[in-house]
Amino acid sequence: MPNISYGLRDNIVYKKLSAHLKEIAMNRRKGFTLIELLIVVLILGALAAIAIPKIATSTSTAKDNACKTNVDIMNSQIEMYYANTGAYPADYDAFFTNATYFPEGRPVCPFGTAYVVTSDRVVSHSH
């Protein structure tokens, strides 16, 4: 008597059902569900809420440092003029546009505040 054993995997019904289930599973994963998209949007929103204020703060700090550097450069160039000529500039508007001392043009406050000269010194200001 031949020993014939039909396992579950050899069953024609099993094969058809298995193929059908695979097809359903493949068709199901064509896109994201609304819940998945909402979760992604919420995560991105949380990251943006953390990152944007830090970027804004660092931009403000950079502008503040640029302004302080401008004041230091202007005062140092005033001293350079004094060392070269033995006198402080008579007209600071003309001096700040003098290409010998300011080859890149008159320094401008990044916040738009005007620089004020008092007693031959550019006074630092806050914004």
Contact residues: Zn ion, CB under 5 A: 67, 109, 111, 113
Q: Give the shortest CB-65-to-Zn ion separation in angstroms.
A: 10
Q: Which is nearer to Zn ion, 67 or 78 (CB)?
A: 67
Q: Give the shortest CB-43-to-Zn ion separation in angstroms.
A: 38
Q: Which is nearer to Zn ion, 15 or 127 (CB)?
A: 127
Q: Give the shortest CB-73-to-Zn ion separation in angstroms.
A: 13
Residues 6+ apart with CB under 8 A from 95: 78, 81, 89, 101
Residues 6+ apart with CB under 8 A from 46: none
Q: Which is nearer to Zn ion, 88 or 110 (CB)?
A: 110
Q: Give the shortest CB-64-to-Zn ion separation in angstroms.
A: 7
41 touches 49 (CB < 8 A): no
What is each CA distance from 41 to 16, 36, 46, 48, 55, in whole angstroms? 40, 9, 9, 10, 21
Q: Which is nearer to Zn ion, 18 or 76 (CB)?
A: 76
